[in-house]
Chain A
């Protein structure tokens, strides 16, 4: 483990930014943390997490896939993919770091999504262990340790600085390039910090949330639960929960008529929308009940079913704080666990 003194954090940022683009959480004009590109003078946000998740780096909300140019009867297909430069993301929390594994399970399996893979290969992820979790956090439910996040490098706040640990080759390389800023240290301060945070997490209201009643192999049981009706009753069918979620991965492909050709792009889609997976035969999920159920079945049953039991939620709590009507995955899980009739 290596230590960086408090005063040298911005030297570290400058050293990275001299070579590649560095993104980190910054407070925006309305005081919310948002990933922005670092340059001299930009300050790291001290908030727990960013309002939008870090998935944007690898799976952006909109992305041009290709273009078509028409001339008479000739159609030219233009590959609009650009070479992706190396970049570094600093300050990713354990939950969001775990969401990358979930996205990988979708986009890096056959057929590999080359757009996603390209960015994934060029990105280095520096995670930042949480110091002050919120009541909406339930990463622990999915076995994610907020005090020991993954990523290429892990950073902990300690009393008089930061402790860094490289976890991968990419991480080693980056630390080697900035080695003169660091000094050697043992893991004592980190252990103390971890104990403190784990103790806080144990006191959080959602600390005892379990995955009882959901998971792989329960498709029929969960699908048929009568509680979906009351759970989905006041859902507005907006897409807020899906758009702030770090693991929601569905997209739509559309064509935009530019007037002198077609731009084919993809953009995030939401299972909460009325035209989601609409086919010529119609909409397979005619009411909000089916759409609502789909979102949670996907995360809590279908995904673990297809992915060795791994759940499609990392417990970041974004949907808890952003849903206009405060309906969310925790309320769904608790209701399903009860087996009652609430």
Chain B
């Protein structure tokens, strides 16, 4: 995969289709790649990399990059194309300045899962035939790649690229039985007190580092209300924990109908708070109240919360589930 991607990137740079490439740069370890913009063939050959640990969604960087001079090539996984489309719909990305190569994806790896198997001192990971041979200073271990698949990929909603200029690998389909609402249903089945306790417990670990917000492609405000000293709600860390919980609830409301469920928030949370469950609750409710809708699937579709029909639910009919 990496070879094919690099080859195409070099060709498109050489023939002038693009003047920059947005991809991943090698790290210190086999798993810590950093998103990077490559501006020359040498640079690409030198540090471009792609493997199962390249999980970051590159769409958000295009808000800035697509406003630069000339066209930029970007590699997008199926889920990333939904974020990209959503940003197009919100007029945040200049489509004409981006060349999208969709890349097939069988799920990304989560380093935390390898670490949870007791693997430490990792010096190399050989990835092939559905297996990882993890080399560590404490000895080598072979694990099934599927045992290290990221949680979000286990309930992947779609293998289909909803936007691309060309594809590397196969395009897939929307995954109908992805089970992504299973945990939401469990939460719905709880009593309000249990549910309150669940969320207070999870959110109590929050250190308010803002990684979830800053990585989120739907959080694209120039200045977040929580960073604006004139907003009256600016805060870096809360004086009381209830305020902290409000941050997350307000954020979930703000991205409702625009969140594509890319899973970046939960991926980056250093405290392993299942933030995606808040967003999935909103997605599920909107599906039930206003009909099936997938943000980013179609940039021309009318968003449920931005459309009014006479048949809309009244607030008092609520979603008291």
* Interface residue ranges, A against B (CB under 8 Å): 28-32, 34, 48, 51-52, 61-62, 64, 132-136, 200, 203-206, 230, 233-234, 236-240, 242-244, 252, 254, 256, 263, 265, 267-270, 273-275, 278, 320-322, 324-327, 330-331, 334, 342
Contacts and interface: CB of A to CB of B under 8 A. Distances in A.
A327 B34 CA distance: 6
A234 B35 contact: yes
A135 B209 contact: no
A133 B208 CA distance: 28
Interface string B14-55: 000000000000011100111111000000001100000000
Interface of B: 27-29, 32-37, 46-47, 56, 61, 111, 116, 120-123, 136-138, 201, 205, 207-211, 213-215, 223, 227, 229, 234-239, 264, 267-268, 270-272
A48 B120 CA distance: 10
Contacts of B235: 254, 267
Given A62-B239, A233-B37, A238 B121 contact: no
B120 A238 contact: no
A203 B145 CA distance: 26
B207 A331 contact: no
A61 B116 CA distance: 28
A342 to B, nearest CB: 7
B236 A326 contact: no
| Interface of chain A: mostly helix, strand, loop or mixed | loop
A134 B33 CA distance: 18
| Residues of B contacting A: mostly | loop
A205 B120 contact: no
B237 A267 contact: yes
Contact of A234 (B34, B116, B209, B239): B34
Given A29-B201, A236-B215, A205 B123 contact: yes
A314 B244 CA distance: 30
Contact of B207 (A200, A205, A243, A321): A243
A263 B123 contact: no
Contacts of B208: 61, 239, 243
Contacts of B28: 205-206, 320, 330-331, 334
7 closest A-B pairs by beta carbon, nearest first, are A324-B268, A267-B237, A326-B32, A236-B214, A238-B214, A238-B211, A240-B209
A135 B201 CA distance: 31
A164 to B, nearest CB: 26
Contact of B122 (A30, A32, A135, A330): A135
A133 B137 CA distance: 10
Given A240-B270, A322-B270, 8 more contacts: A62-B237, A205-B123, A234-B36, A240-B211, A267-B236, A267-B237, A327-B34, A331-B34
A275 B239 CA distance: 19
A324 B268 CA distance: 5
A50 to B, nearest CB: 12
Given A61-B237, A330-B28, A275 B209 contact: no
B209 A243 contact: yes
24 contacts: A30-B271, A30-B272, A132-B120, A134-B121, A135-B122, A135-B137, A200-B137, A205-B29, A230-B36, A230-B37, A233-B37, A234-B36, A238-B213, A238-B268, A239-B236, A240-B270, A243-B208, A267-B237, A268-B237, A275-B227, A324-B211, A326-B34, A327-B34, A331-B28
